[in-house]
Structure 1
Amino acid sequence: MEFKVIRLFVLFVATAKAQVNPEVCRYPLGMTGGQIQDEDISASSYWSESTAAKFGRQLLFHFYFSVSLCGQISLPERSSHCFYLFFFRLDIGGGDGAWCPDIMSEPHGLKEYLQVDLRSLHFITLVGTQGRHADGMGNEFAQRYRIKYSRDGSNWVSWQDRKGQQVIEGNRNAYDVVLKDLEPPIIARYVRFMPVTDHSMIVCMRVELYGCEWLDGLVSYNIPDGQQMIYRDLEVSFNDSVYDGASAEGLTKGLGQLTDGTWGLDDFLHSHIYGVWPGYDYVGWSNRTFPKGYVEMIFDFDHVRNFTSMKVHSSNMFSRGVRVFRQVTCFFRSDSEWEPGPVTFRPTPDRVSQRARFVTVTLGDRTAKTIKCRFHFNDVWMLFSEVAFQSGSAVYNTSIGPGKHPKNTLPVDDPTHKVDDSNTRILIGCLVAIIAILSAIIVIMLWRQVWQKMLEKASRRLLDDDLTARLAIQNRAFSFRHSSLSSDSGSTSNSTYERIYPLCADYQEPSRLIRKLPEFANSTENLKSSSLCTAATASGSDGAPHYAEADIISLQESSDSSITAVNMSPFTGTDPAMREFPREKLSFKEKLGEGQFGEVHLCEAEGMQDFLDEDLSTEEISKSPLLVAVKTLREDANKNARNDFLKEIRIMSRLRDPNIVRLLAVCVDTDLLWMITEYMENGDLNQFLCNLRLNEAPDEDKPEQEEEKGDSISYIKLISMAVQIASGMKYLASLNFVHRDLATRNCLVGKNYTIRIADFGMSRNLYKGDYYRIQGRAVLPIRWMSWESILLGKFTMASDVWAFGVTLWEILTLCKEQPYSQLSDEQVIENTGEFFRDKGKQVYLPKPPCCPDTVYNDLMLTCWRRNAKQRPSFQEMHAQLQESMSA
């Protein structure tokens, strides 16, 4: 009885928010723990009674306890929340038991299977498999397998990933448990594991399913086929690509993207998922093909339910002709006839914010097994990414008449669930003891962390005070001598980099490295290192500070007057990049990104031609508005942030190279601080190349203009882009600048394939997946970083060389996939440990198909040498790439 009360409480809480979060819905469903009964496990065949289906359970308990510092307790394999992860492994039996089919399946057939009946619909996000080692006497496991699933036991669907692959890589030995994310997840009651192997190998399997109960009860939805939008010559497809039903005339008897737990971004051209087409997250329709002015959807449920509301996630980017629906009318059916009196709902129109949002439609406690909703257009397009229903957990009384609603209905137990009430008190006592032990461990670890941070801050304060005192003495000495060169004073702000490995003897805190600049444009002496990627305004969209946020030393004036820090006065000189630009001549077009201290906007600037340098190419620039990027500082930014913003302006104004993005002008006449930089008309290099294909066999007799088609590019042009990036980095290296975030996303493309290096990538939601969060604070582009940058916190020109090798790999693969796409973020970090150990186990990026052996072996691999001193310089790589173009 106690267990039932707890279960009813959990169901009540879940009903209040019957919306699945795939990151949290990762609970073991009972193959290991025994909640799934033996009679619910079946198989097509088995060797003997000792290898029957009921032995297909994993024999190792795997407890995943994640205790969040944010006050949450969950059981995911991996979570994006801030938590400490404790992993316990308990062996409860020998290694004999496993399911072993009698007849092996064909290499491409699907005959043998192990079937699990979950007794109700579940949202399944993860599966685990294990082999049979029989205490060292056997070595049977499934190297590959497929999955089929069903919601009713008769219609079976083959699972496939978002790229259409059905085969899942399984085990490599008989001992380890291999967990595989189902992306997309599935909604099913019955699941079949189907090994794929040849006759030369015996297969045995133990399995576990992870997920949670599907509280919506939605069995299928019927909708029209998604349509295609042409936006600025870009094909945007709004089809339901993971729908598992029929698709003859519309989509029927299946589920898909509207129930996968993934919500679309504000900009429907972008996606949470790497490497998919524009519009992937949304299913959408145009009013031009619906003369009645509405789209009709039908939702079928597992049984009669009492519905309270429906939540629809919709895009509202009205600048592109997309709005939330104007009205929705829902009809209800409990048996064969639609009930009279539909429910009509009109959402409040929003003509200000273009953010995507959930619209909650009140259904008025209507009872039904099928719901038909008609969504009326409010603009040219209507886009949905998720639909969820809130209802009673179970309503089995179907005798209620049409239009009547049940009174005082409470959730009741599903009779198909079998609950063992024996030893309940013992189980609860064990759980309480485990929680108490975990709480004690957490308190001890937190206390140790607090104590270590106090000691670390004390030691840093001593070092900062010593550094400040030394710089102050030098400043007074230089001021006394009226020197033409002066030195900068240090910053004392805390580092934004979190160590993930023990402190090494040669560790250097990134924000403590003193970065210097030449004091005069014609001076080449007294160079000091700095970072191009400073920028509080280039922080991540989720509010975390930029991983390479630098404490730039105050620039000093070398005049007869006393030394002064950067202030408003330097912007009144003749340097065009420091001239004030009229704010009213800026027209904001699109927000590129948002950070902790500011935003980056794409704008058109009228009259910017008068602010350009003579060394800027202006023969192709007309009198029309110029496309620029504007970095803005928030009004509520503190004094330190304002000073850093002004220092960044001063630094960028000194950069003069055709392959480095140029600061054009500033707006600092009021408290609102803006800086205006170049922005190339073709956007960033990553998106530019991603939409192209390689022209593998260009006709040498054709003119160069005819060789490059609109959708293709040659190998020579790709190397030409790499040459320009190497040239820009060679210039930065000559000034001892360290970029820290070199990648194709941070390179802009202009006319005639002109490339200029920038630092906008971190601030864009599109590239959020390229950065990895460390301990909830710092975010790092670990797939582009050298091993010493990740493990030791060292950022040097040699680490930029490493990143250049990855960038060159991106270019030659046309940015079709993320570096190390087959590895998780944790595996990438583990791989850097292999580089440190240098035992020959480290994994390198593979050679791109179009890349010659000489470029891969003599250039790329040399960029990734363990010894930073053995890596080539940018000057050497620039010369080598130029030579490869002429070869």
Structure 2
Amino acid sequence: CCVMIEIPLFVILCINTECCVPDVCRYPLGMSGGQIRDEDISASSQWSESTAARHGRLDCEEGDGAWCPETTVEPDNLKEFIQIDLNLLHFITLVGTQGRHAGGMGNEFAQMYMIKYSRDGSRWISWRNRQGKQVIEGNRNTYDTVLRDLDPPIIARFVRFMPVTDHSMNVCMRVELYGCKWLDGLVSYNAPAGEQMKLPAFPVFFNDSVYDGAITHMMTEGLGQLSDGVMGLDDFTQSHVYQAWPGYDYVGWNNESFPSGFVEIMFEFDRPRNFTTMKVHCNNMFSQHIKIFRQVVCYFRSDSDWESTLLSFSPVVDENDPSARFITVELTNRMANAIKCQFYFKDAWMLFSEITFQSDRAMYNTTLVPPTIGSPTNTPPDDPTHKIDDSNTRILIGCLVAIIFILLAIIIIILWRQVWQKLMEKASRRMLDDELTASLSIQTEVFGYNHSQSRVTNEQESNAAYERIFPLGPDYQEPSRLINKLPEFAQSSEEPNGAPHYAEADIVNLQGVTGSNTYAIPAVTLDLLSGKDVAVEEFPRKLLTFKEKLGEGQFGEVHLCEAEGMQEFLHEEYLFDIPEDQPVLVAVKMLRSDANGNARNDFLKEIKIMSRLKDPNIIRLLAVCIYSNPLCMITEYMENGDLNQFLSRHEPEGQLALLSNTATVSFSNLCYMATQIASGMKYLSSLNFVHRDLATRNCLVGKNYTIKIADFGMSRNLYSGDYYRIQGRAVLPIRWMSWESILLGKFTTASDVWAFGVTLWEILNFCKEQPYSQLTDEQVIENTGEFFRDQKRQIYLPQPVLCSDSLYKIMLSCWRRNAKERPSFQEIHRRLSDLES
């Protein structure tokens, strides 16, 4: 990790032309990818050279695994920090943090922290959210990445992360910044303070509430709402911001306070620029005596003196449409490092929510040349005499260069589409090996104990530094909180016995020996189960005969074994149609002797949980070997293996099968197996257990088409192509996952219902084809974005040839965008039972 990634030039062009809008500008800025150099990362102190600031990179485990200050962090003593120099101003919308995992050896992390930032390296500003809170909630363990939106975003070159504690403790941090380059170059604006409007129903406050400079009767040396990328609504009394007061989105002034008839705003920039346009977002609610400005007069300062030549512009005032709008002012390629504009009133009030500038950046060589390793990104030339050239020549050269790069981009895209898809298809099928098996949980907080040891293994991930973190709320990847803010995504409240739903409760995720989480279990349920004695007996190891290794992961292995005398250890509820003198086929999960303490504890918890699962369609725990190492749990295994392999060896009944003398399965038996899976999932959902990996590979087949749901499909190299590695963090069955599981990290009974629909599709296709086989893994993820946007462009799995319309309707109902509208497993089981009968 932490290596510089070569990005195709057309990608850099696209990134640098993004508008600084919080919902768009969310790219990693280079801590984890290596674009930020070691010498640009500093700290107040360090515990040792192995915990120096350069080791504080997100997702990296170099040195001792993180930045750690020299001393313990004390309450009310904010002197320790890790600082990042981005070399240029950036628009920063999101931050990410981790603790020191160090391959399971670390236990230090920051539970809280503050952000300080600076645009010039001398004046430091403490970030506050829109409610005035400075402290940001950090990590709860050492390995998970916790992402927090900065709302409002900040414009800065230097950023400091400062750990905060409520008691003396050791902390360590790994960090990342997300955003994009601040192309405006604006470093401050000075303007009169916003004023208050008194409406009959309530007062409206037009102050700049997030301005980070000095505020008296004037606002000086800061930036705020006029540069935060948020445009005000047509109705100025409404706001984009939750719990904001009327008028929050606008900065506004009344003409009675300005005898001269205008409001003067001065804009300071990072260096001399060649300005083309200024865009001012104005409210035009003329029914409340608010209109866009009548005229604007602008003055330009090139060095230290203001030029005598001014620019005047008068927009067409619209008295028919009250919508807010951008007014574009042409600045005619004027050179300046500061602009002073006087906005003249047309009516009693003038309200602005955003002012942006466009300048000619090609003369600074900032977008057409990719950054090189070891030099500051897009640093402007040192010689100011070469910054100005004939404008027509610049325009001509710019057009020619743009055409060349467009042609190059087209060629690269054509080649990329052909080569990339082949590489991705091959990579997706070799990513599951001995050390890549990881936790099924996509939640940032439950990636599993091997999170820090993950490594980027395919070419797709080499471009991960420019993967965008999409705006899904400040608690991104924390569904238990996000669900309160996105009610349309909330899971149905119709849960059995009023038990807390997965998304509404603290979740315990057991790290399975093969790397998977067997089930996601509400903490309250685990507490109840853990309080009981394990109702399972110790089995003599000498009576186990190992036949075949089924799979393995970081912490253990799964073996197919024959157990002699197993009948003596079973309760009457187990009905084996096997004579007592014959061995019983079982699966043995074995914990490796070198597994860490966390894995061992989870193994014992898994035994407790498995011992309580009693359903004819769920694999049962038969016995254990826990009195000596290695620890083992012995579960049922079915003589016909897993459902995926079983069906792939069979054909549907018909003339073709008769001619080829192939084993067949009838349509009614297919429905019978699907009904059993629904029955088993109905049982799990009644306990509020979430499986997370329901698929035919995790269903076992016994005599007479008996089905039992298992959990160790992920551990088998046979199914490595069914799992996709997301940025080195988790191996995920994305083709079976709901859109909210992939995008929000949200796993619920409703997401299991989605996976059941895909499993039903597999069954009716006799497992001859992988779901979405015509799509690459990346295209599958893109398709989930279409479900999120819900613009009717999402791709559904097609209706199988053997599938009746009624069965396909069940599938489609499982894939509804709104989780609340998906059927419960009780309903699915009833509908399948009706079809079967």
TM-score by length of 1: 0.43
TM-score by length of 2: 0.46
Greater relative contact order, per chain length (Cα 8 Å cut-off, separation 6+): 2
